[in-house]
Structure 1
Amino acid sequence: MTKEPIACLGAGRMGRGIAVVFAYAGHDVKVVDFKARSEDDFKKLEADALGEIRSVLASLATFGMFDATQIDTILSRVSIVREQDAKDAFSSAAVIFEGVPEVLDLKREALARASELAGPTPIIASTTSTILVDDISSAVAHPERFLNAHWLNPAYLVPLVEMSPGKDTDPAVTERLKTLLENIGKVPVVCAARPGYIVPRIQALAMNEAARMVEEGVASAEDLDKAIKYGFGFRFAVLGMLEFIDWGGGDILFYASRYLTKALDNPRYASPDIIERNMAEGHIGLKTKRGFLDYEGMDVDAYRTERLKAFVAMLHHFNLVKPPVV
């Protein structure tokens, strides 16, 4: 079965990472270098890009993801394309992923040129981590086929892709890209065009709080990271954050937030209105069969058992399972 061809606009880290993912999944990928270069400089870039992609594939093979004898086959699906050959690369692609540096004017210029060369058919997705979709969509011819698709580095390993459609994005385009990403083993989520998407916004709060705790002398950097890895990260590798609120009970978060806000004399620990509202309505999670998620009709005991089994798998992952003392 022939897979849809893919194009990457930009031959930097993101373009190379996306190329690994799609080539691994059987797609031909053209990585387009949009900079004007001499023949020697382009050859150097080409060798560097393909060398890095080969190195990544070799590492993945070493880690047991596939047989190293398949590296050449996967790599053969990737080609580095110079600026003057971009029209064919873009117009023949099902999707173009833009990955030029995070400079608004630079992105708008590159997207305008790419969309003109591509014609009206290919989906165009910016991988920007900072610029909102509607700040750049007007640069794209036929903006109904444009949206943001934020990959988390390293793109070839992290499953999540945060998709952010704009006001002009055709919902069918969002669905097509979502299906394509799922078919290559990614886990796409759709979010509104808001600064920080989902993960970077939550991550920024957590990272700043961890740094602040070191500054305040709460714990050493080593102990803080150990707490994050074996407590925070351990739990959220199994339970989603809102699922975790429901698991323990929204009432616990409600009272803990009140205490921390007062004890630390800082409003950043205050609960949002939705926590207050859920408390007032009795929607506090598993105990009431409804919280952020709906548990009506669910076999809650079976659900708990499945999640606890996943926690045990995490203990095995960390090599922390020890036999009982008898």
Structure 2
Amino acid sequence: MASPERIPVACLGAGRMGRGIAVQFAYAGHEVVLLDAKPRPAEAFEALQNEALAEIGAALRTLGELGLFDPVLAEALLARVRVVPDSGAAEALGSAGIVFEGVPEVLDLKREALARASALMAPDAILASTTSTILVDDLSPAVAGPERFLNAHWLNPAYIIPLVEVSSGRATAPETVARLNALLESVGKVPVTCAASPGFIVPRIQALAMNEAARMVEEGVASAEDIDKAVKYGFGFRFGVLGVLEFIDWGGGDILYHASRYLTGALGHERYRAPEIIERNMQEGRIGLRTGQGFLNYDGQDIESYRRRRLGALVDRLRAEGLAKPPVLPD
């Protein structure tokens, strides 16, 4: 496989995910092929091709207009992307250093597409499914060379959101994970590695937050507008700087433990119950910043300097939101 800087990229499927990935890699200097995942008449393929290229071009022009680059370069970046029909699968897949599978979330359909793709790919090329729901080990039996197969879960819009959740299966080689992470980092992404578990990381946390927000509307706790305002300027504001587990450590795991007990009783539902790890951390003295150990390890850190950096980042967020007002001076 060629160096991560300039490897041919193929996206199996020319839908929303494939198009978003194409924008990201074309922007980063890679040649990208969007492979139509099913045979279709010439006229239908031409319509798909025109639609995909128009959407990718519009996304690139928007990025330019938003100041990421000179908008006149958008057409040159778009020229790195080709859309090819299913009949061109052998050439497109055989020359790719990495293939991102993005066909619909149907198990049998994905298995069929992955089996065919893995048979046509170079033996050292990486095959990554972008599935948001199906675990790697449910797909890998269909793959020729499962050691080079894993999941790369992008968050939409794929060319904007930095995170990519990388999930390997039992047969995935550690080298494959390392190579994919290096490639993603080289194009400006932030990969995180997680176990093959339903919901991965973000969708699992996100589902809880979204359902709870909807439930509060249902219960009349607040209006949809005020709940979203609370999320943007409270929940999201903090967690854009402090990770969720880092925030537990910041306040103390004991605070979460007692708050969870109160909410469980007051709202009468076990969904607020703290997991056992919270109580276990308390028993072991892993409270957070106050003890130097929590979910993260703060041994040897200058805690005041650390706090100052985090507060500085929060002040930067205030400035970005236009909320950093000058002080009212004494008369």
Aligned position for 1:178: 181
* In structure 2, distance between residues paired with 1:114 and 1:205: 35
Amino acid at match of 2:270: P
Aligned position for 2:60: 57
* In structure 2, distance between residues paired with 1:25 and 1:113: 28
For the aligned residue pairs, the C-alpha RMSD in angstroms reads: 1.0
* Residue 90 (structure 1) aligned with residue 108 (structure 2): no
Aligned position for 1:265: 268
Aligned position for 2:156: 153
149-158 vs 300-309, which moves further: 300-309
Q: CA deviation at 1:60?
A: 0.6
* In structure 2, distance between residues paired with 1:94 and 1:177: 11
* In structure 1, distance between residues paired with 2:36 and 2:270: 47
* In structure 2, distance between residues paired with 1:80 and 1:230: 42
* In structure 2, distance between residues paired with 1:319 and 1:103: 45
Counterpart of 1:51 in 2: which secondary structure? helix
Give structure 2 stretches of 5+ with no counterpart. none
- Note the alpha carbon deviations across 1:52-75, whole angstroms, 9 max, x for none: 000000111111111112112111
Counterpart of 1:189 in 2: which secondary structure? strand
Aligned position for 2:7: 4
Aligned position for 1:187: 190
Q: CA deviation at 1:17?
A: 0.3
Amino acid at match of 1:245: I
* Residue 139 (structure 1) aligned with residue 139 (structure 2): no
* In structure 1, distance between residues paired with 2:114 and 2:19: 18
Q: What is the percentage of aligned positions where both structures have the same residue?
A: 65
* In structure 2, distance between residues paired with 1:317 and 1:53: 29
Q: CA deviation at 1:119?
A: 3.9
Q: CA deviation at 1:290?
A: 0.5
146-155 vs 42-51, which moves further: 42-51
Verify the 8 A CA contact 2:97 2:122 in the aligned structure 1: no
TM-score, normalization: structure 1?
0.98
Aligned position for 1:76: 79
Counterpart of 1:116 in 2: which secondary structure? helix
Aligned position for 2:124: 121
Verify the 8 A CA contact 2:95 2:122 in the aligned structure 1: no
From 19, 44, 47, the equivalent of 2:47 is: 44
* In structure 2, distance between residues paired with 1:267 and 1:299: 38
Counterpart of 1:290 in 2: which secondary structure? coil
* In structure 1, distance between residues paired with 2:52 and 2:118: 24
* In structure 1, distance between residues paired with 2:131 and 2:320: 33
Counterpart of 1:286 in 2: which secondary structure? coil
* Residue 288 (structure 1) aligned with residue 322 (structure 2): no
Aligned position for 2:33: 30
Verify the 8 A CA contact 1:20 1:156 in the aligned structure 2: yes
Aligned position for 2:112: 109
* In structure 2, distance between residues paired with 1:45 and 1:227: 41
* In structure 1, distance between residues paired with 2:140 and 2:45: 30
Counting matched residue pairs gives: 326
- Note the alpha carbon deviations across 1:147-186, whole angstroms, 9 max, x for none: 0100000000000000000000001001000000011110
Verify the 8 A CA contact 1:159 1:187 in the aligned structure 2: yes
- Note the alpha carbon deviations across 1:256-288, whole angstroms, 9 max, x for none: 011111111111111101000001011110010
Amino acid at match of 1:324: P
* In structure 2, distance between residues paired with 1:73 and 1:221: 43
* In structure 2, distance between residues paired with 1:221 and 1:121: 50
Amino acid at match of 2:187: I
State the 4+ residue runs in structure 1 displaced beyond 4 angstroms: none
* In structure 1, distance between residues paired with 2:57 and 2:269: 50
Aligned position for 2:249: 246
Counterpart of 2:153 in 1: which secondary structure? strand
* In structure 2, distance between residues paired with 1:292 and 1:156: 31
Verify the 8 A CA contact 2:12 2:36 in the aligned structure 1: yes
Q: CA deviation at 1:316?
A: 1.2
* In structure 2, distance between residues paired with 1:193 and 1:34: 25
84-93 vs 19-28, which moves further: 84-93
* In structure 1, distance between residues paired with 2:37 and 2:223: 46
Q: CA deviation at 1:298?
A: 0.6
- Note the alpha carbon deviations across 1:132-160, whole angstroms, 9 max, x for none: 01011111101111001000000000000
Verify the 8 A CA contact 1:90 1:122 in the aligned structure 2: no
